[in-house]
Chain A
Amino acid sequence: MIHLLGPYVVAALLVGLGVMGVLARRNAVLVLVGVELILSGSLVLLVAAGATAPSRWEASSVLPLFVITIAAAEVVVALAVILTAFRHRGSIDMDEAL
């Protein structure tokens, strides 16, 4: 079993990158990418959490599956909305006035 420091650092890095992406970017697709980074960091954290002791719930195996599925559905909706907005405005710059 690997030492858990590694996964925790990776998770923290991913979440940090994701938050920075969300805050600093004005493009809607890039905000989506930032959120996906946050999700990846959380997934790493989840998997690492179950690595120490086996629990009867096996949450660290099941929950990531749930999260990935939801994220997929979310991306579908997100891209649909972004496409609609793009069709109307010609750009997906979120700071642009209506």
Chain B
Amino acid sequence: MTLEMSWGLLLPALLPVAAMLLVLVVDAVAPRARLAAPVIGALGLGGGAATALPGLVGTGPRLTLCTPAPEGRCLWDGGPLTSTLQVAALLATLAVLALVSIHRAGVIDVVLLLASASGAAAVVASRDLGTWLVTLELATLPVIALVAWRDRRAAAHGALTLLTTSLVSFGLLVLGAALWVTGTGDPTLTGDSLATAWEVPEQRVLVSLATVVLVAGLAFKMSAVPFHAWTPTTLAAGPLPVSALLASASKVAAVGALIVVLTPYESVLGLSPGPHAVVAALVTLTVASMLVGTVMALRQTEVVRLLAWSTVAQAGWVILPLTALTAAGRRAAAVYVVVYAVAGLVAFAAVRAVHGPHVEDRRDLTAYQGLLRRDPVAGGALALALLVLAGLPPGVIGLVAKIVAIRPVVSAGLWPVAVVAVVAAVLGIAVYVRWFAVLIGEPGEDAPARQRSRRASVGVALVGSAVLVLASVLPQLLVGLVS
């Protein structure tokens, strides 16, 4: 059996891997060239994003790795939604590389980042369980190593927490994959195989259970309640750039993986015993995450923990449109995660610009008093990111993303979930406006001095803010991308 391959579609995942190999080779050959690694890494990530761009505007089907007919299935789908997530993941990793900053990024940092980015770009396009498992773990494992890489005590504790949860998540994913193969008989995640399995009652139960277990495993990576306990610990204990990576690119990869798992369900949506178990599991996750995350975030005074709990709440929002199990829901989830990833990156970049590279202490809200006047660039970027996360104008794109996320739920008739989402949106405004109000206050006398060596962070914050502003002015650019 031969696979039909079109290399152009595979490039977004292959280019970072090629860059990684090149970095290792250059390090073996010329160890003194310290700048080579970050530069090659940046080129690899940028090149990968560039090769994913044609998928955004292409109209025809972009499938590759297809087995021959009859019963040919294509194992890689590079359509608009996939390409959007690929671009988002690759550019988010590029931003994190910039946050690590050129002078401090060593070979290992770059290699781990490239591996994680390649995995993220590949998992969103995979359509069979083998590719999916491999690339998802490729996206996750390097990040665990990155958390512990700087070898500090608090980071080691955070890495340990992340490790145990990742291990358990992997176990659950493999269990879910095994159940899926048992239920449907083939490892591809397509609607046809699901529809055939759905007709037999025992297979239907197996397949539902498989999806629930897969969703539970993925909920770890997405920080959804009740699998969220690692998030505050790890994000607060690890280095800031890695926390930014966990909040942005890892979330994009996890959401992409979840979308891949839920895509087959479109074909069984109207059937008579519908996928109620899966919907119930998703609803539980989303409602719990939105409420618990928001309520806990309201009580935080330390900035990174606040962002961590807000990550939990936003995970609830990302899963919300997926409860409808329709194509519109998947597109809405992709839009939301991209907006959230950009806003989160800007927030982390601004935090890093304010506190500098040695960031273990005094990351309190009080350090941001009057930041908008003391430091208009970082303060302005942070204010814009907070408004987008809250969904308030002028962060219009945040509001658009929330509306886009609620719409599939309303059209599917899940009214109680929509009501809870609105309540969570209102509470969420309080979370971010609390920080925003501190920003626009009067600067106190004991404000921390401006850090040096913050050019990269400020650059990332500015570029991210520009993207947010552009998306706010022309929201149809982003929404149209995934339609």
Interface: B160 (CB within 8 A): yes
Extra contacts besides A28-B164, A38-B175, A63-B178 (20): CB < 8 Å: A18-B171, A35-B167, A42-B171, A50-B181, A55-B185, A59-B130, A59-B186, A67-B177, A70-B133, A70-B137, A74-B137, A74-B167, A74-B170, A77-B145, A81-B163, A84-B159, A85-B156, A89-B156, A94-B164, A98-B153
Residue of A22, A32, A60, A84 with highest tally of chain B CB at under 10 A: A84
**CB 8 Å contact bits of B167-209 with A (1 = contact, 0 = none):** 1101110110111011001111000000000000000000000
Given contact pairs A28-B164, A85-B159, A45 touches B178 in the complex (Cβ within 8 A): yes
- Are A84 and B171 touching (Cβ within 8 A)? no
CA A65 – CA B161 in complex, angstroms?
28
CA A6 – CA B133 in complex, angstroms?
27
**CB 8 Å contact bits of A59-81 with B (1 = contact, 0 = none):** 11011001101110110011011
- Are A57 and B186 touching (Cβ within 8 A)? yes
- Are A35 and B170 touching (Cβ within 8 A)? yes
CA A59 – CA B184 in complex, angstroms?
11
Complex: chain A residue closest to B142, CB-CB: A77
The answer, among A15, A35, A70, A94, for a CB contact under 8 Å with B160, is A94
The minimal Cβ–Cβ distance linking B192 to chain A, given in whole angstroms, is 13
Interface: B446 (CB within 8 A): no
- Are B178 and A49 touching (Cβ within 8 A)? yes
21 A/B residue pairs, CB under 8 Å, sorted by A: A22-B168, A31-B164, A31-B167, A39-B171, A39-B174, A45-B175, A45-B178, A49-B185, A50-B181, A55-B185, A56-B1, A56-B71, A62-B187, A63-B177, A66-B133, A69-B134, A74-B137, A77-B144, A77-B145, A78-B167, A82-B163
The answer, among B129, B148, B170, B186, for a CB contact under 8 Å with A55, is B186
- Are B174 and A42 touching (Cβ within 8 A)? yes
Complex: chain B residue closest to A23, CB-CB: B168
Chain B: interface secondary structure? helix
Interface: B141 (CB within 8 A): yes
Interface: A88 (CB within 8 A): yes
- Are B181 and A46 touching (Cβ within 8 A)? yes
Complex: chain B residue closest to A15, CB-CB: B175
- Are A81 and B185 touching (Cβ within 8 A)? no
Chain A: interface secondary structure? helix
Residues of A within 8 A of B160 (CB): 28, 81-82, 85, 92, 94
Complex: chain B residue closest to A76, CB-CB: B141
Interface: B445 (CB within 8 A): no
Interface: A53 (CB within 8 A): yes
- Are B177 and A46 touching (Cβ within 8 A)? yes
Query: Which size bracket describes the interface of A in this complex?
Result: 35 or more
- Are B163 and A77 touching (Cβ within 8 A)? yes
**CB 8 Å contact bits of A5-46 with B (1 = contact, 0 = none):** 000000100010010001000001001100100110111011
**CB 8 Å contact bits of B417-428 with A (1 = contact, 0 = none):** 000000000000
CA A71 – CA B71 in complex, angstroms?
31
Complex: chain B residue closest to A73, CB-CB: B141
Residues of B within 8 A of A57 (CB): 186-188
Query: Which size bracket describes the interface of B in this complex?
Result: 35 or more
CA A38 – CA B178 in complex, angstroms?
11
Residues of A within 8 A of B185 (CB): 49, 53, 55
Residues of B within 8 A of A15 (CB): 175
Complex: chain B residue closest to A70, CB-CB: B137
Complex: chain B residue closest to A18, CB-CB: B171
Interface: B40 (CB within 8 A): no
Interface: B151 (CB within 8 A): yes
Given contact pairs A74-B137, A85-B159, A42 touches B177 in the complex (Cβ within 8 A): yes
- Are B177 and A81 touching (Cβ within 8 A)? no
The minimal Cβ–Cβ distance linking B162 to chain A, given in whole angstroms, is 8
- Are B154 and A32 touching (Cβ within 8 A)? no
Residues of A within 8 A of B407 (CB): none
Interface: B157 (CB within 8 A): yes
CA A55 – CA B196 in complex, angstroms?
15
Complex: chain B residue closest to A38, CB-CB: B171
Residues of A within 8 A of B163 (CB): 28, 77-78, 81-82
Residues of A within 8 A of B153 (CB): 88-89, 98
CA A45 – CA B174 in complex, angstroms?
10
Given contact pairs A88-B153, A89-B156, A35 touches B129 in the complex (Cβ within 8 A): no
- CB neighbors of A among B76-132 (8 A): 129-130
Given contact pairs A41-B175, A63-B130, A94-B160, A81 touches B187 in the complex (Cβ within 8 A): no
Residues of B within 8 A of A80 (CB): 145, 148
The answer, among B144, B170, B172, for a CB contact under 8 Å with A81, is B144
Nearest 10 Cβ contacts at the A-B interface: A38-B171, A59-B187, A49-B182, A45-B178, A42-B178, A35-B167, A42-B174, A85-B156, A46-B178, A88-B153
Residues of A within 8 A of B130 (CB): 59, 62-63, 66
Given contact pairs A41-B175, A46-B178, A63-B177, A81 touches B156 in the complex (Cβ within 8 A): yes
- CB neighbors of A among B133-153 (8 A): 133-134, 137, 141, 144-145, 148, 151-153
